[in-house]
Amino acid sequence: MHEPIGLHFSGHGIKGKAKGNYLLFEKENGESHLVSAQDLKAVVRQTCPRLAFVFVAACHSEIVKDVFLEADSEHVICINQHNRVQEASIFTFTETFYRELFKQEQDRQCRSICDAFHKAKGAVEAEHKGEGSIFQLWLKD
């Protein structure tokens, strides 16, 4: 059995004030379920193996980057905590990132996560002026 190399969350991030920050998950019955950064940290520590990357495709998702970095994820891709992201920009970034990440080169090597990130960020900036800068890449120290 192969270990996963990445985790992709696509959804909504909610930047709270006094009550904290959340990612919005959906229960099996379709109801919304707010998961705080603290609760997410507990789950991630128990269940996630060391991942090469985590991509949190949600508005304000920088608010949870440390959860994944502290769980030994090597790279975390997220959206600046002060910004919302347009759906079209997420689609452009996601399509380009995964296409570039798993593109087979002539020497049969895959591109690096950093290379794929920068290609995707450039594609967003080319198609959606000003949106490329809200995508962030954080590396494990």
The owner of tokens 């290379």 is 115
Provide the percentage of residues in the chain whose pLDDT is more than 90: 30
User: Is this prediction's pTM over 0.85?
Assistant: no
| Count of other CB atoms within 10 angstroms of residue 90 | 19
Question: Where do the domains of the chain lie?
Answer: 6-139
Higher pLDDT, 78 or 12: 78
Higher pLDDT, 53 or 26: 53
Predicted pLDDT at 107: 46
The CATH code of domain 6-139 reads 3.40.50.1460
- pLDDT tens per residue across span 85-111: 888 999 999 999 999 988 765 444 556
**Lowest-pLDDT choice from 37-46, 58-67, 93-102:** 37-46
**Token duo for residue 119:** 């290609």
Q: Are 4 and 31 in contact (CB under 8 A)?
A: no
